[in-house]
Structure 1
Amino acid sequence: MGHELLQQPKWRIIDQSHLGPMFDAKQSFAMDDTLCTAVGQGASEAVVRTWVHHNTIVLGIQDTKLPHLSQGISFLQERGYHVIVRNSGGLAVVLDEGVLNISLIFPEAKKSIDINQGYEAMWELIKQMFSSYEATIEAREIVGSYCPGSYDLSIGGKKFAGISQRRIRGGVAVQIYVCVHGSGSARAELIRQFYEHSLQGEPTKFVYPRIVPETMASLSELLGEPLAISEVMLKLLQTLRSFGAELYPSSLAEEEWPLYELYLQRMIERNEKVL
């Protein structure tokens, strides 16, 4: 049957997985905040939003306190990456055309959703999506990965996905990045070098992760077969349908656009201030 949070009567599907390189990650975080607010106010059904960004490094708030951040950012930009700071916790992650992001946005109207419930629902969804494979998908911290957390998703001890959450006025957004194809260790090596350039051996109060690239891989690498973003999208929709939900494609409603513009402006200002 799946996790109770996945038992929504209807899912509003917003697919932004094919918008291309001009789609900026700041827009994504503004979009989730908009939808989180709308769902929290009861103005929208629960939402599944899918999104892909090209050559983008998303930093967490803690990363902005690195002693030599500007050198780290310059290093990434020289390698063709766009750098933004998100409006939620966590640390640096890599987004590129081989990484599918999924946001599940729930209302908290009837009863509160504790933080582990949100993580468990996303873990359950990913397990169901790949249940036809013999691989066991675990949720535990993978030491040596980038942006480590207690709900890192892994197969055979190698992390392929990380989950975060954001809450706004009665709405809960559970966000996951899934490394579908490409080299997980190459992505990890990039972030390892970013921290090397940004720390330069200087001691800090906050302990930044010591990244071991071999602890990370893509699903294609772990399952031993090439997977495309479109295939994973299909698995996602089929799995949601198997829970008995009605799915309908959507975009922002007219009344949601002003809110989106407001949240986008906040993201732009945050990034201008920090970067």
Structure 2
Amino acid sequence: MEEARRLLQHDRWRWIDQSALGPQFHALQSFATDDTLCESVGSGKSSAVARSWVHHDTIVLGIQDTKLPFLEEGIEFLEAQGYQYIVRNSGGLAVVLDEGVLNLSLILPERDQGIDINRGYDAMWFLIQQLFADFKMEIEAREIIGSYCPGSYDLSINGKKFAGISQRRLKKGVAVQIYLCVTGSGSKRAETIQQFYERSKQGMATKLVYPEVKPEVMASLSELLGQPLTVQDVQLRLLTYLNHSSEEILSGQLMPEEFEVFHRYYERIIERNEKFLNK
């Protein structure tokens, strides 16, 4: 994991905390923000960035989910449960975001040798291991069958998934993104996705493979560690780690020159969502 550690070593980090913006902070804004930061970091206009973000009652769909045969019925179910929904521009399938789910993005520059996809995943896995090292519990990275948005870098403890990682690469910047189910019930979140797929697929055979969600294989960190963690607790752990591994942390939001870039990416992702969801 020494290579993963090196990827996280930067003299300066920008820290952007968007975890408390409330229900009016739309998830599409988050993905446009990461694209903006990829461009800034990739061009050398910005140092590496760590960004935290929380969205209320939102289902983030993958592009593959938009090809479900009865997607309209699935979306009607989500709306009835009080969820917003979007289609993200990074990989993966449907996930649940709410006040107990902390998202972290690490925006890193592509160096001369590049950052291959596994190195990006390893860096985030290593970071999460460091943040919770005091609990002396093994955090594994392997696919958890029956979880929603399954992948080879599902993070789990004792076979129960609490986090998933995705990546977005743009203009020599790499955004490694993770959702961490910090508090609440992981299995209840999984039940929502399970019912979404049941209504969207209705037993029909599909060319694309969708997960057969088993709620019992998912949990929150609070459940797994036996401690009532909060989103703020995890952010404090992250800031402590960054303080120890860098010389300077600059806290703030987007720079003035980044706002124009943000609006361009925001309009682009809105257009993509309208296309995929036929709105």
Please classify the TM superposition score into its range, dividing by the shorter chain length: over 0.9
Query: How big is each residue's C-alpha offset from its partner over 1:34-88, in whole Å with a ceiling of 9 and x where there is no partner?
Result: 0001100111000000000000000000000000001000000000000100012
Question: Does the Cα contact within 8 Å between 2:14 and 2:50 map onto a contact in 1?
Answer: yes
* Residue number in structure 2 paired with 1:186: 188
Q: Give the structure 2 partner of residue 38 of structure 1.
A: 40
Whole-angstrom distance in 1 between the partners of 2:195 and 2:259:
39
Which residue is equivalent to 1:129? 131
- Partners of 1:126 and 1:56 lie apart in 2 by 23
Asked whether the equivalents of residues 7 and 245 of structure 1 are also in contact (C-alpha less than 8 Å), the reply is no
> Equivalent residue for 1:225?
227
Counterpart for residue 268 of structure 2: 266
The within-5 A match list for 1:152-191 is 152-191=154-193
Is this contact kept in 1: 2:13–2:246, CA < 8 A?
Answer: no
Note the alpha carbon deviations across 1:253-275, whole angstroms, 9 max, x for none. 11111110010001111111222
Structure 2 match to 1:197: 199
Letter in 1 for 2:78: L
1:207 to 202, 206, 209: 209
Gaps of 5+ in 1: none
Q: Distance in 1 between matches of 2:260 and 2:137?
A: 44
Q: Which runs of 5+ in 2 are unaligned?
A: none
- The secondary structure found in structure 2 opposite 1:47 is strand
Q: Which runs of 4+ in 1 moved over 3 A?
A: none
Deviation at 1:232, TM superposition (A): 0.6
The total of aligned residue pairs comes to 275
What residue number does 1:10 align with? 12
Alpha-carbon distance between aligned partners in 2 of 1:118 and 1:250, rounded to the nearest angstrom: 24
> Where does residue 99 of structure 2 map in the other structure?
97
Q: Which residue of 2 aligns with 1:21?
A: 23
**Which of the residues 115, 118, 131 maps onto 2:117?**
115
Task: State the identity as a percent.
Answer: 65
TM-fit CA distance, 1:225: 1.1
| Aligned mates of 1:158, 1:245 — CA distance in 2 | 36
Determine the C-alpha separation between the residues in 1 that align with 2:241 and 2:187.
29
Letter in 1 for 2:112: K
How far the C-alpha of 1:243 sits from its partner, in A, is: 1.6
CA–CA separation in structure 2 for the residues paired with 1:191 and 1:33: 27
TM normalised by structure 1 equals 0.98
Distance 1:183 1:245 in 2: 37
The code of the aligned residue for 1:212 comes to: K
CA-CA distance at 1:110 after TM superposition: 3.0
Query: What is the distance in 1 between the residues matched to 2:145 and 2:202?
Result: 21
- Check conservation: 2:63, 2:276, Cα contact below 8 A: no
SS of the residue corresponding to residue 3 of structure 1 reads helix
Provide the alpha-carbon RMSD of the alignment: 0.9
Q: Give the distance between the partners of 2:114 and 2:137, measured in 1 at CA.
A: 33
Aligned pair partner of 2:251 in 239, 249, 266: 249
